[in-house]
Amino acid sequence: MAFDPESDALRARAQAELEEIARTVMPFGRCAGQHLHELPAEYLQWFAAKGWPKGRLGQLMQMVYQMKADGSEVAFDPFRDPQFRQRKADR
């Protein structure tokens, strides 16, 4: 496969965003304390109808919502592994 800096940059950005989603914990509400990728689809649907939080939290929640709606939730599987959280904590 040929080296494609644009494609590699996009892949790296997507991976970084997935990792940020995996690290981020819902700071308020009924699901406070849950990682964003673990939020129930119905909870995200409520925000989609009522309005997303401002800033980066809202952006990340929208990404999770869209991925769940598209059936791309399997992308979160590596982050559900307890060893992932331990490796991140060791850094």
Beta-carbon count within 10 A of 61 CB: 21
CB 34, CB 17: distance < 8 Å: no
Range of the domain at 90: 33-91
Residue 73 belongs to a domain: yes
Residue 89 belongs to a domain: yes
Would you place residue 91 in the very low, low, confident or very high pLDDT band (cuts 50, 70, 90)?
Answer: very low
Q: Does pTM surpass 0.85?
A: no
pLDDT at res. 78: 87
Number of domains in the chain: 1
Of residues 87 and 78, more confidently modeled: 78
pLDDT tens figures, 4-44: 778 889 999 999 999 999 999 999 999 999 999 999 999 99
90 is written with which tokens? 């060791």
User: C-alpha 22: how far from its chain's center?
Assistant: 5
pLDDT tens figures, 33-84: 999 999 999 999 999 999 999 999 999 999 999 999 999 988 888 888 666 5
The DSSP symbol for 19 reads H
Residue 23 belongs to a domain: no
The DSSP symbol for 81 reads S
